[in-house]
Each structure stands twice: as structure tokens, then as C-alpha cells.
Structure 1
Amino acid sequence: MSIEDVASRGERGRVTLQVIAERLEVSTATVSLALRDSPVVADATKSRVQTLAREMGYIYNRSAASLRTARTNMIAVGFHDITNPYFAEMLVAVEETAAEAGRTILLGTYAESLERQERVLGTLKEYRPDGMILCPAGGATVESLAHLTAARIPVVQISREIEGVGLDFVGSDDVYGVQLAIDHLVSYGHTRIAMIGGNDGTSTGRARHRGYEAALKRHGLPIDPALIYKDFGTRRTGLAGVQTVLDLPQPPTAAFCFNDLTAFGALLGLRHRGREAGVDFSIVGCDDVQEAAQWYPALTTVRNHHAEMGRRAAEMLMERIEHPELPPRRFLIEPELVVRASTVRI
């Protein structure tokens, strides 16, 4: 049967290793090894097999292979948000690390919706990934991931964590990072420092607020609830938050923002009031996404090394896949302060 005959009879999707082997007069084992680019097969034979497979429209049956090996070589990634460049840049590092290990990623997103998270993670689970990397939605609990742990799927939490779930975690030392920001602002003479963004529904929100309060206390500064504007870390939060605190009878002279997106919103909010960061107000962000250095003024921020976070999480997951008996691990990356032009001495 010719290649044209195969195509004309609508059988391109049913081309098998045996069909290719018969055409080339080699064994099916040779075809299988050649398609996997095995060094055991001579280069000339490998080239003939791979060329014919492409021409005949051969499709690798990954499902059948996974049944034989109990591995799919796929890693599922569940993020609440990839419109935030922090998570987009983190995802790139996860994908690159997985690819280097011969694995493909499946991506699911669910915003801050627990209902959507349940549905997305359930769908990802159906593809039988070898493991998952997750950043939980706000308000997620131990019960939110119970179906994954019951299915014995290896899971690594990244950036955000659900305490007490007994899963691996890679993140930033958020308490320390905020303290670096507050120390910097105090060294510039600020004593009325707002915190904009972050809420108690996420571990990062809770940790960064703890760091903010601890740093103020260490410097002998009062904690004024009016200076704390809680909400998810978005540009809208920063825009609204900075204008809210500027309306106070005793407004702040500086603000630490939960993340860089919030800080970008706050920079715009200042301009709505005829103010400018780095001139008559100080803004510090958190994350150090690529955009932070490109703003005007360039944003002073806490660098969380999120690309390294992505790489470490992928590496940790692959270790967990190979060694499921390991005890839960928790790895915190130490942040650093990057001083740019959005802060000013008073």
C-alpha cells in the first residue's frame, strides 16, 4: 500500500509501528527505538524511519506508552493568575526546567475562584500527570487539595502555601522581604508608612502583613490600621489604595505595596493627585518583575527571585516523583532589596 493509498483511505490516524516496519523491512523494535531517537539505531536507519513516519502521519500513542511505563512525562501547573508578569516569568522557568528533563507541562488557571480551581485541578488530574506544581487560589484550604493527595499525585506548592497540607513548598521569605523594604523607608526618614494590597486569604498576604507590622514595631513606630489597605494584589488595588490613604487627615509619606502590580497602580494613583514617586512620595514594590525597571520612575522593589523559585519547584517535583517516600520539604529563597528611583529622602 502506498502513502497515497493510506491517505486516500482516511487511515493516517491509524498508522502503526508495524506498518512503518513493513514498509522499510525492519523490525517494529527498530522503528520504536528510531522514533525515540535511540543511539542504538544507526543514523541512516533512524533518518529513514523518522522521515517515513512524518510522511505517513504517524502519531505517537502517548496514552498507550504511559500505561506501559506508568509515566506520562507531563507535569501539570495550576496558577491562579498568569496575567501578572510575576507568575508568567515564573512559569517560563518551570517550563524550561521541565523541558530540560524531557517533560511537558499542562497549564490550568483559575483566578481567585475556589470553584474554578476545583474544576481545573480535577481536569488536570484526569490527564494523569506525573506531578503538579500549584499556586493555590485565595481562601484555599487543606480540603481544597484533598482529592489530589488522595490520588497520590506528587504536588509542590509555589509562592503561596496551604499550611498543614503536608506538601512540598518553594517560596520567598516574605516576612524578611517586607522588613527590608520598611528598613529602607525608615532610613530615608519616613515614619508614616502605608501598606497597600495583600489580604488574609493567602499565605503571602498574611506573611507580608506580619513582616510590615514587625518592622514598624522594631523601629518603634505605631501600627495605624488606617494606613493598611487590604485587597488582592492588582493595579486597581494600588490605584484605589494610595488615593485612600492620601485622603487621611494624617496621610503617609511612603507606601509598601504587596506586589509590583499594586505598586504600578499606586504610581498612577499618585499622578492622579498631582504627586510623583521619588519626588514627594516613596513607593516600594515587591517581586521585581522585568517591568519594574522600565517604569518611570523605575520602581524600588523587593526581588523575590521568582525565576529561581520556578526552577527549584520543578526540580523538587521531579525529585518527589522519583522518591515519593521523602518527608515534606519547605524551601524559602532569601529576597533582596533593589533600590531604584521611586523612593526619596524626606
Structure 2
Amino acid sequence: MVTIYDIAKKANVSAMTVSRVINNTGKISKKTEAKVRKIMEEMNYVPNQMARSLVLQQTKILFLLITDITNPFYTTLSRGAEDAANRSGYRLLFGNSDENLQKENDYIHTILSTRVDGLLVAPTGDASLPHLEQLRRHKVPFVLIDREVPGMDCDVVLGDSKGGARTLVEHLIDNGHRHIAMVNGLSTASSARLRLQGYQEALLLHSLHMPDNYVFETSYKLHQQVTGNDMPVLPSLEAWFDQLEPRPTAIVAGNNVIAIEIIRMLRKKEIQVPEQISVVCFDDFGLYSEIAPFMTVAAQQAYQFGYMGMQTLIERIQNKDHEAQPWRKVVLPAELIVRDSVAPAKDEQSQ
């Protein structure tokens, strides 16, 4: 294996000079630098990244931890994060917690042991607080995306969950719907709480009162009935729907994955969307929406989530006094995209 001493001998310079060229440190003439880099290329020299990280006190490696890699929102978010990292000369590692607290904990331990420079994370929920406190104790910079965690002051990039949900409900009300149910994520996630608040505010604004059981709480990964210490066994969506009285004319889904499960359930029951029940949801479907546009959504700026979150993280890392700087909170608006999943409520249903 070629070492810096081999490079130094052939270039007739000191090993320290080669080290400075590799790490871009110290004052070296452009002629000497060019000579050393040419010899490095000729000898196929690969720098020892571990040794380099010890010298520079950084690895140039960042970590992105999301909750559901199968969700098009997080897929697009990840691309934005990767582009921002690459643009600043960082490599990016990925992890997927599956909305599972134990899996998130395992990733946090991996992150701490691999000496990454920082973490961009979508937390599983409020119970992620001890994991974030571990990062802070070990002085690992991090930025939250999509969800906040009560008790943790830090940089965060969020979507306007409350405003987006309110817009969806108002769109249904404008189409004559007066019996509007909601299937939402678990209330342990800040985004789910805000979407519920947006739903409730829109109803209150229009003096509409729904039965208490019109709101159903489940996992954002509904199709994988996750169980464990951090996740209860979830009740059946179908059982919830069957006991509703009166039957709603419209349903708001807390995210796109939940919307798919709602559509599956309604098709199983041979209930047509939107002719018999209208359905809207938070988050778009990525390329699927371009191929078969159907669902009316409150679309979030998924790419910008990742890009801005990563930019914020890198700025925090590169600022030597990063812990003394004010924390930043960015809220990105959601856009209502009207498609074909909403129909005007029938007169007898909307009274």
C-alpha cells in the first residue's frame, strides 16, 4: 500500500509537506502542490481517511436519519439532503428508523461510534428526547426535520402542518361537506398534533361539530402494524370506520401512506371515491402523482426540507462557535393541489 512517505520520497519533499497537500493546510507553493498531487495520482494513492479525520477533527461525513424510506416524501427529502451535502464536500450516510424508537436508538449509537460530523434527523416522536440529549452530550451537531421534540431547543425545519390541514378541511367544506372525519398519525409526533389542530380549527371556524370518534389515531406507517415497547398494537381502520354514525362524507388523511390505506379499505367495502366519500391527504406521492394524478393533497416542499435542513446543519458545523449561535426554526408552507378525489357532497348528506 502506498504511503505518504513513498509520495514524499518520489517528490523529494518531506512527509509533512505531503500531509499538508492532502489536508489543504499550511503554506505550500502551487508548484510543489501540483507536483505532489501529480505523483499521488501516478501512484494511485488513497488518503487514509481515519488519520485525516484525526488531524482535521472532522470526517466530512454526515448522517441522515428518517422514519420511512418507502414514503415518497422522505425519498425526495433525502435527495435534497444529499445534494446539499455533496455541494459542500460532504458524504452522506442514511438510516431508516421505521417509526421505531428502539431502531432509532440503535442508529444513534452507531452515529456516536462512527464519528460523523453531524446528523439531520426526523425523530420518531416525543420519546426521541433522550436520544437527542445523547447527541448534545457528545457535542454532535444535529438539525431536526419534519418534527419537533418538546424539551429540545435546536435548529429545525418544519412544514406548516396546521395550516396545510386547515386548508384541506376548508376545501372539503367549500364542496359542501359537513361530516368530515380524520385518520391521523400518533399524537406522540408533533406533526400529527399540528395537523389535528388544523382540522379542529377549520371545523370550529365554520361552526361544525364532529362526533368524538370521528378522529382515528394510527401509525404514519399504517401498512406495517409496528409493535414493541414504543408502539402499541393498533386498532383496525376498518373497525373504526364501521362504527361511525353518521357515516362521514369525507376523510382527511394525516399523510400519504394513511391515504393509501383508506382507499384500500373503501375499495374493499365497494365504496367509491369520490362519488360516495371524498378523501384528501397531507403530503404528495412523488412520481406516482405525475403518472396517475388523483388525490387532492396539501403538498410539502420535500426537496427543500432536505436541502435546507442539510444547509443549516453544515452551517452549524462550520461555525466554530456553533453552540453559541441562536437556534433557527424554518417553517415551509404546504400547497393545496386539487385533483379528482373530492366531489361535491350530496344535498341530503351535507344538511
Match of 1:249 among 245, 253, 273: 245
Aligned twin of 2:151: 164
Distance 1:242 1:188, change over 3 A: farther
TM-score (norm 1): 0.86
SS of residue paired to 1:229 = strand
Aligned twin of 1:342: 341
Give 1:162 shift. 0.4
Q: Is contact 1:260–1:292 with CA below 8 Å preserved after alignment?
A: no
Match of 2:42 among 42, 52, 74: 52
Match of 1:146 among 133, 144, 164: 133
Distance 1:28 1:303, change over 3 A: same
User: AA paired with 1:113?
Assistant: N
Unaligned runs of 5+ in 1: 1-11
- In the alignment, structure 1 residue 307 sits paired with structure 2 residue 303: yes
Which range moved further: 94-103 or 80-89? 80-89
Two-structure CA RMSD over aligned residues (Å):
2.7
Whose RCO is larger (CA < 8 A, sep 6+)?
2
Q: Is contact 1:193–1:255 with CA below 8 Å preserved after alignment?
A: yes
User: AA paired with 1:140?
Assistant: A
User: AA paired with 1:53?
Assistant: M
Distance 1:289 1:40 in 2: 51
TM-score (norm 2): 0.85
SS of residue paired to 2:313 = helix
- In the alignment, structure 1 residue 183 sits paired with structure 2 residue 173: no
User: AA paired with 2:94?
Assistant: L
Distance 2:248 2:238 in 1: 9
Deviations 1:181-239 (A, max 9, x none): 00100001111111113111111111111111111111111132221111012353899
What percentage of aligned pairs have identical amino acids? 27
Distance 1:319 1:43 in 2: 29
Aligned twin of 2:349: none
Which range moved further: 165-174 or 128-137? 128-137
Distance 1:185 1:43, change over 3 A: same
Match of 2:281 among 275, 280, 285: 285
Distance 1:288 1:243, change over 3 A: farther
User: AA paired with 1:241?
Assistant: L
SS of residue paired to 2:251 = strand
Q: How does 1:270-281 map to 2 (within 5 A)?
A: 270-281=266-277
Q: How does 1:194-343 map to 2 (within 5 A)?
A: 194-236=181-223, 241=237, 244-245=240-241, 247-294=243-290, 298-323=294-319, 324=322, 325-343=324-342
Distance 1:247 1:273, change over 3 A: farther
Give 1:120 shift. 1.2
Give 1:313 shift. 0.5
SS of residue paired to 2:80 = helix
Give 1:45 shift. 4.3
Q: Is contact 1:159–1:171 with CA below 8 Å preserved after alignment?
A: yes
